[in-house]
Structure 1
Amino acid sequence: MQSKHLQIFLLLLLVAVYKTAAQDAYLVSGRILDSVNSQLRNNATVQVKGTTIGAITDDAGNFQLKVAQKLPIELLISAIGYQSQTFLITAVGKEVNILLQPQAMVMDQVVVSASRVSESMMKTPVSIEKLDIRAIRQSAAPSFYDALENLKGVQMTTLSLGYKVPNTRGFSGTTNSRFLQMVDGVDNISPGIGAPVANAVGPTDLDIESVELIPGAASALYGLNAVNGISNMKTKSPFKYEGLSVYQKIGVNHIDDDLHSPTPLYETAVRYARVIGKRFAFKINADYMRGYDWIANNMRDQNPNANVSVGLTGANNPGADLINNYGDESSDRRTLTLDGKKYVVSRTGYAEKDLADYNLHNLKFDASLYYKLGKGAELSYTYRIGNVTNLYQRGNRIELDGLQIQQHVAELKGSNYFLKAYYTGENTGNSYNLRPLGENMDLAFKSNNQWYSDYSNAFLAATDNGSGVADAQAAARAAADNGRYQPGTQAFDDKKNELIHINNWDKGAALIMKTGFVHGEGQYDFSKYVSWIKLLAGFNYRDYIIHPDGNSYVNPESYTDSTKLNTIFHYYSYGGFAQATKTFFEEKLKVVASVRADKVQYFDPRINPRIALVYTVSQKHNFRISFQNGYRFPTLFEGFSYVDNGGVKRLGGLEVMSKYFGVFENSYVRTSQDAFIAAVNNDINKNGLTQTAAIEKNQHLLIKSNYNYIKPEHINSLEAGYKGILFGGRLFIDADYYFNVYKDFIGQVELTKPDKGTIGVDDSTVFYAYDKTKSTVYRMWTNSTGIVSNQGASLGLRYNLPRQYSVSANVSYAQLLHISAGDALIPAFNTPQWITNISLGNAQIFKNTGFNISWRWQSGFDWQSPLANGFIPAYDVVDAQINYAVPKIYTTFKLGASNLFNKKYYQYEGGPVIGGLYYFTVIFDDNFQRK
């Protein structure tokens, strides 16, 4: 009902705001054609010189302008792949045909992100990918954000239907804090989560103008942990794109799905922009999407060898830890002595599909005001808000229920400078963690002591009655579980609703974070003051504002002063950069040198330099090489997290946060504890040793922690590449190679701290390690103790065929080279060795009709994460779309499919199974018909 009201509201908004002011105006119309083959050209820009009046040609090459100026007027015409030109209009009344001269493709494309100043895409000092309006419209992906997956070198991890995580150059994850994502230069990170929530609070498909993506380290210019890459989504200016646009998508997923019946997906979006006078303009955007999410139901056992010594494996393993089942994890297991044997037994837990709400919702809105001050200066203010409900994964699977992110952005920019300030605030609403929910559903039914006692008694009773061990284990579980909350019952729903509102993961499951940050930055181009060199400099400041909630974050001062328990605390950083660019040898050699300094609270300043060279053999052949180092500082969660969850305490790695607990100084590596317990049980069960003798025999397996408080992660990166244009401008080639070396890689390690005694001093600590009730497990954020390196290469090709056909292909290779042996914190590479994309399209295969089809394949790879480890099989999918435009009513119809053949696959262990999504979209776009 809520969505119907929203759609009615949007339609009323459409009627209310769409008015045409045509008084005292005449019509200028015509067509734009390719001068070589006389093909009609869509997406060409036609503008009246000296005004903001303009249009963009439709798919039939037509344009119309309503002009009130006196004749003659001069039109400025430009299009990607063609030389810009002017055309004089001296009379009206008949259509004009304008011929454009082809230019080698991409040579005239301009990008900003690579050097923070405008430059030719052919001559950027580092690898960069760009999606412009034309590429976005022709993409076979359901949205512009989905289209990022087809860019060279990009790996996308799908957490849910509405939550995708992009990454480049290895070490991917479900929370990618190594990849910086911006909207108009504004970081759209979720402060508490420590990474963007996909595009939940980003631009709509109606407002996106282009996306620039830099694979690899970019922290020398951007800081802010941009060590794996950055993307910058540029939105449309109302001065350039004025008018009304409406977008309606209807789709369906879960076709032929064993887990759910076919379910509709809806998305409605509206954009309205208006220029008032010559100086003022505004735009508003609204978007609402709803559907039913992909389902994660992987029931593979992660603890298959727990009871090998007593012959219980597979379905008979009472200590199973099923991936998408919560409440049977390591902290929910005990070793029971039954009939003289040691059995590892876990609580039963609940499947994700019984705990999660897979209904997906995303409502977002933004409004912007712009004012031209003169001399090229512009002042703007933007407000964004997004509210999202979908599935997310950190260490556990999380139900984001009503997560809300708000941004306020103010910016003053001129031709050679900008000043920007913004605030981002977050409220996780009614979100909850599925693992503690499963655990506490079981505990609400029966305490661990009672459940394991009932289990033991039922097992002994069954064996006394002649049952075999496997049957007795099954009977024991059934008896111990008798009367527990059953999914689908009112009692289950009532208890679940109670638990998801308790903000303590030892008793409930609520995820409450109310964090925010203020950010300021500026940049100035001094080039006009220095004739022999281009000089750029900038600065930034950020201050996180953390509201302690007692579970995700606590004020560390409250450890010794309870009055500080609810006191807000801060985490700040500041830095600056300078960049110099100089050309030599008649501008054939461009040298770009930059240096950045960052100071983050609790750490000494760090310096990030970059040196890059671009050699232009000719305008069509450019070679580049660059070297830089970079630092990634701990995110808010990595530094300050404080979580109690089922016997596992998660702590941020900053000394101010975790020194109070003394974990790093006095703990065993958790994996060594597991190996030690398994060896002790084996000697008891198979070799007849006493428990004491088995512990003393195997205590050498325990490894004392040598980890320490968290430090910044450091990367040295070397990149080389080539961009070239061949065959008269029809073939574009972009190739690159990179080599990275990481030190102090940030990650998590599980450590076990004895409740009493000092390791190496008291022999009792080994007995505490065997009895889990006498030790505490900590999951600590820290650094790898060794060196990590990786390398890779990618190749992108695009060829323009006759009659407006084009084919493009890219292939990326990634390899993990070295990880130091003996390091319990093994950085998860989580990256396929090969990723390939091939697409074929034509924007005008018939009159007003275009299509695009793409094929994507990636090789299998190993996945590691706190939730689950495993092998991800190779998969390939086909996306396709066909579109038909009706220029007279400014409307385009698009029929498409993501995963056309409905192949089921998943992209990470514990993630959802992804099938086909089929959709039909109607776009009314008068955005380019400026009045």
Structure 2
Amino acid sequence: MNQKLYLLFIFISLKSFSQTENSKTKQDSIKKEELNEVVITASRRSENIMRSPISIEQLKSAEAKKMGSPSIYEALENVKGVQIITPSLGFKVINTRGFANSTNVRFAQLVDGIDNQAPHLGAPIANALGANDLDIDKIEIIPGTAAALYGMNAINGLANIQTKNPFEYQGVSIQQLTGVNHVGNIDRFSPKIYSQFNLRFAKAFNEKFAFKANASTTGGTDWVADDRTDLAPNANASTGLFGADNPAYDEVNGYGNESANRKTLNLNGKNYVVARTGYRETDISDYGIKNYKADVGLYFRPKPENELSVTYKTALINTIYQRSNRFRLDNYTLNQFAVDFHNPIFQVKAYATTENTGDSYNMRSLAENMDRAYKSDDKWFADYTTAYKNAITGGATVADAHRIARTQSDQGRFIPGTEAYENKKEELIDINNWDIGAALRVKSTLVHGEGLINWDKAFGDFFEKIDAKLLSGVDYRNYIIVPDGNYFINPVHADENLTYQKTGAFTQVTKDFFSDKLRLGATVRMDKADYFDAKFTPQFTAVYSPKESLNFRASYQNGYRFPSIFEGFSNVNSGGVKRVGGLRIMSDGIFENSFTKASIDKFQAQVNTDVNTNGLTQAQAIEKNKNTIQKNPYTYLEPEFVKSFEVGFRGITLNRNLFIDADFYYNSYKNFIAQVEASIPNTTDPNQIPTALYSKNTQSRYRLWTNSKSKIYNYGGSLGLKYRFDEMFTALTNLTYTKLDRTDDKDGLEDGFNTPEFNVNGTLMAQNIWKNLGASVTARYQNNFDYVSFLVSGTVPAYWTMDAQVNYYFKKSGITTKLGGTNVLNKSYTSILGGPSIGGLYYLSLVWETNKI
């Protein structure tokens, strides 16, 4: 489906919205569901969604179940303003308002107000530690910065998954969803079974004590990432070798042939860039998915409106994860303990999350070191040189000589599928050093405590007289990392854990004016993190409601994001390149003494061109082009910063049949946390620096976390429409526009915007078509967009996709059946470069629920 068909779909929907025949029952339903809907995430207190001071979206469980998505979490793709990218069938990433990536550290994800991030990443592993479908009540999403109230790096947005309280939702619920994917020969797999099992048990023993337990398992075969586009197509342009003839060939989902695995060889008077052969992801990866999660909770209500809860969550993850490289997560575990007490006046909460990466490994490092395990780089390139020269002497063409040289140099290589290969693979994925192995071995803990107080509840008479509300909060967080000697080290005390602490506090005041038609709010927040000065974050909001069904809002706020543990403290050796955290404690002296890789690459290319086409000797070419090399202009990390202005409207019209929600925002960013590659020459003689930087063997190479010097501006808006035709049919339409406005002082380190300009979706839902039969169809479209990452950069093609489902409720047995599919037309697409091709998933879900225990 193209854009014209989508515009036709929207036109038909809007045409239908103009109808005015409505029943009293429908009007009352709209009023109840929209006018009286309550949210808690936007202001950290219960409030009417119509008068929310900032944009907030919500997806209720009951509505999500009527969509074609197999889970509520995946149904978020149908929510206004939300972008979901899919690095794996078992790992989906939520983002809003641009600057998306597969480890989205700018978007926070909570479950009942508790952060469910993996500590060392600073971002969640999708919904791995979240709630299962049977326990989710609704999901609230703040698109845009939420830093003033939450202070947990939520400068792009925040999602809060709210679960069902066992006092209000009792009973036993069981779901079995069985499906099939890899249908129609879209990749190397024949059709594979996908299975998800969910269980919920909740019991209130009396009005004071309740218990809840949940369990979930997910199994299947992941989508395949097999993009064979050459990432170095012009590495040998000066010698006329392109495509299959290019000896530096580096396909997107092939690893071990990247820049760190290439060398410039002088062969018969010409300089050629040659890469080692590497391995495709399809050869080295395990595409099996086996994820498990469970949680239990005890709940105590000593008196009405007072509740104490003690909960424990655990997750075991076996799936694929994408960051700057692709990783296989095996036996990756997360555990979380939480205590929460709240009443109308105050709330206190404390939790601890532990992370153990288990037997996980880096696919790129595995491929690199699988090659080196049978022959070192020096030996391989020496053999290549000899074989090439012999082939040329024997009369072979240049292209054929390169092919012959590779074949002979690869003799003895480990072949995927053989016993020798599998034994070597098991050995390498257990070596925790990426220069010689591939293991990801991280153990970390996040400890968090916070408290809130509603002053207007504590001193009700006073605040009622002045018609105002006052809320204050304080929080503390500590990240604790066990140094593993490869991924993390403690540069000061080698035998002690790394710690990284943050504290914050905020106060929010709101006041109503003009008979409660105008509500003004102001918030100020202070955050202090180790290694950084205190940062202050203000927020100002206004909501004008001339009547209950018409609400206009405006807000201005700032937001900060402090570096994650990995950005600040990493210490990774990988393929001869050391990735170093950007805090001075980790990278002292490197910034000041290094030269940028971008300038070194340009210098090397110019030298090769002069040798190959202009007849210069290597020494002459180095002397001619030495001024191309540039000193590293970057320095140690500072927090990211965003300014955001937003206006919006929310209302109900057309005899209360049409719900409208619209917003527009403008953001400016600076100090984007990014990576720069740089090298320090292994010489202190200024005259020898160019020669040292021409060869990889005479320089120390680094990838450093730093701040971009660019100032970036983006804007956008979204429009959501919901129309109920009658008691049977409901239509939803969402249009999101997201635009990168401009980049000042552009330095090439700014994060990729990585977001489509247009994203539109429409859903038509029907219930009680015949008795308890319901159905829905959803269509989505997004245009092509530029994608930038360290793994691969390029253009993500536009795509459209369709989900559909039919459901039936068997009232007597308490069973709901749902037959559905995502991407039902099975037109494969990719949501990010380097990620998998996504086909159709077709499933049957059976849910049995009872309130009798």
Per the normalisation by structure 1, the TM-score is 0.88
Give the Cα–Cα distance (whole angstroms) in 2 for the partners of residues 810 and 202 of structure 1.
Answer: 26
Q: Does 1:689 align with 2:624?
A: no
Give the Cα–Cα distance (whole angstroms) in 2 for the partners of residues 605 and 278 of structure 1.
Answer: 45
- 1:789 counterpart (704, 713, 722): 713
Give the Cα–Cα distance (whole angstroms) in 2 for the partners of residues 735 and 923 of structure 1.
Answer: 35
Give the Cα–Cα distance (whole angstroms) in 2 for the partners of residues 800 and 822 of structure 1.
Answer: 48
Q: How does 1:536-547 map to 2 (within 5 A)?
A: 536-547=471-482
Number of the residue aligned with 2:500: 571
Give the Cα–Cα distance (whole angstroms) in 2 for the partners of residues 806 and 209 of structure 1.
Answer: 21
Structure with the greater alpha carbon radius of gyration: 1
Q: Is the 8 A contact 1:455 1:477 kept in 2?
A: yes
Give the Cα–Cα distance (whole angstroms) in 2 for the partners of residues 519 and 930 of structure 1.
Answer: 37
Q: Does 1:631 align with 2:578?
A: no
Most deviating of 498-507 and 821-830: 821-830
Give the superposition deviation at 1:416: 2.7
Deviations 1:52-91 (A, max 9, x none): xxxxxxxxxxxxxxxxxxxxxxxxxxxxx886xxxxxxxx
- CA gap of 1:82–1:406, structure 2 versus 1, over 3 A, is farther
Number of the residue aligned with 1:247: 175
Give the superposition deviation at 1:709: 0.3
Structure 1 unaligned spans of 5+: 1-35, 40-80, 84-100, 558-563
Q: How does 1:109-508 map to 2 (within 5 A)?
A: 109-256=37-184, 257-508=186-437
Give the superposition deviation at 1:375: 4.0
Letter in 2 for 1:202: G
Give the Cα–Cα distance (whole angstroms) in 2 for the partners of residues 556 and 315 of structure 1.
Answer: 45
- 1:912 counterpart (832, 836, 844): 836
Deviations 1:112-152 (A, max 9, x none): 00001111111101111011122122122110010111111
Letter in 2 for 1:509: A
Give the superposition deviation at 1:803: 3.7
Most deviating of 663-672 and 158-167: 663-672
- 1:665 counterpart (592, 595, 604): 592
Q: Is the 8 A contact 2:187 2:224 kept in 1?
A: no
Give the superposition deviation at 1:804: 2.2
Q: Does 1:534 align with 2:469?
A: yes
Number of the residue aligned with 1:702: 629
- 2:647 counterpart (720, 730, 736): 720
Q: Does 1:609 align with 2:538?
A: yes
CA RMSD across the alignment? 1.4
Residue 664 of structure 1 aligns to a residue whose secondary structure is: helix
Give the Cα–Cα distance (whole angstroms) in 2 for the partners of residues 695 and 815 of structure 1.
Answer: 43
Q: Is the 8 A contact 1:253 1:916 kept in 2?
A: yes
Residue 402 of structure 2 aligns to a residue whose secondary structure is: helix
Give the Cα–Cα distance (whole angstroms) in 1 for the partners of residues 33 and 115 of structure 2.
Answer: 31
Give the Cα–Cα distance (whole angstroms) in 1 for the partners of residues 344 and 425 of structure 2.
Answer: 56
Most deviating of 102-111 and 227-236: 102-111
Residue 493 of structure 1 aligns to a residue whose secondary structure is: helix
Give the superposition deviation at 1:724: 1.3
Deviations 1:380-399 (A, max 9, x none): 10000000111101111000
Give the Cα–Cα distance (whole angstroms) in 1 for the partners of residues 324 and 61 of structure 2.
Answer: 37
Number of the residue aligned with 1:814: 738
Number of the residue aligned with 2:16: none
Give the Cα–Cα distance (whole angstroms) in 1 for the partners of residues 426 and 451 of structure 2.
Answer: 47
Give the superposition deviation at 1:569: 2.2
Give the superposition deviation at 1:552: 1.1
Give the superposition deviation at 1:338: 0.6
Give the Cα–Cα distance (whole angstroms) in 2 for the partners of residues 716 and 502 of structure 1.
Answer: 44
Give the Cα–Cα distance (whole angstroms) in 2 for the partners of residues 118 and 819 of structure 1.
Answer: 39
Give the superposition deviation at 1:763: 2.3
Q: Is the 8 A contact 1:105 1:729 kept in 2?
A: no
Letter in 2 for 1:116: R
Residue 742 of structure 2 aligns to a residue whose secondary structure is: strand
Number of the residue aligned with 2:18: none
Residue 730 of structure 2 aligns to a residue whose secondary structure is: strand
Deviations 1:714-755 (A, max 9, x none): 100000111111111110111111111111111111112212
Q: Is the 8 A contact 1:182 1:231 kept in 2?
A: yes
Q: Is the 8 A contact 1:749 1:824 kept in 2?
A: no
Q: Percent identity?
A: 47
Number of the residue aligned with 2:607: 680
Number of the residue aligned with 2:442: 513
Letter in 1 for 2:336: Q
Give the Cα–Cα distance (whole angstroms) in 2 for the partners of residues 544 and 104 of structure 1.
Answer: 44
Letter in 2 for 1:537: S
- CA gap of 1:573–1:801, structure 2 versus 1, over 3 A, is same
Number of the residue aligned with 1:858: 782
Number of the residue aligned with 1:902: 826
Q: Is the 8 A contact 1:241 1:930 kept in 2?
A: no
Provide the aligned length of Structure 1 versus Structure 2.
Answer: 826
Give the Cα–Cα distance (whole angstroms) in 1 for the partners of residues 125 and 802 of structure 2.
Answer: 26
Residue 302 of structure 2 aligns to a residue whose secondary structure is: strand
Number of the residue aligned with 1:580: 509
Deviations 1:837-862 (A, max 9, x none): 10000122221111111001000001
Give the superposition deviation at 1:930: 5.4
Residue 324 of structure 2 aligns to a residue whose secondary structure is: coil
Give the Cα–Cα distance (whole angstroms) in 2 for the partners of residues 419 and 842 of structure 1.
Answer: 43
Give the Cα–Cα distance (whole angstroms) in 2 for the partners of residues 249 and 262 of structure 1.
Answer: 16
Deviations 1:180-218 (A, max 9, x none): 000000000001122100011110100000000000001
Give the superposition deviation at 1:590: 0.5
Deviations 1:517-548 (A, max 9, x none): 11000111111312311000001000111100
Give the superposition deviation at 1:822: 4.8
Give the Cα–Cα distance (whole angstroms) in 1 for the partners of residues 601 and 406 of structure 2.
Answer: 24
Give the Cα–Cα distance (whole angstroms) in 2 for the partners of residues 445 and 337 of structure 1.
Answer: 24
Q: Is the 8 A contact 2:30 2:657 kept in 1?
A: no
Per the normalisation by structure 2, the TM-score is 0.95
Number of the residue aligned with 1:4: none
Give the Cα–Cα distance (whole angstroms) in 2 for the partners of residues 800 and 736 of structure 1.
Answer: 22
Give the Cα–Cα distance (whole angstroms) in 2 for the partners of residues 129 and 723 of structure 1.
Answer: 11
Residue 768 of structure 2 aligns to a residue whose secondary structure is: strand
Letter in 2 for 1:706: P
Give the Cα–Cα distance (whole angstroms) in 2 for the partners of residues 800 and 506 of structure 1.
Answer: 60
Give the superposition deviation at 1:353: 1.0
Give the superposition deviation at 1:38: 9.3
Give the Cα–Cα distance (whole angstroms) in 1 for the partners of residues 758 and 32 of structure 2.
Answer: 30
Structure 2 unaligned spans of 5+: 1-21
Q: Is the 8 A contact 2:711 2:745 kept in 1?
A: no
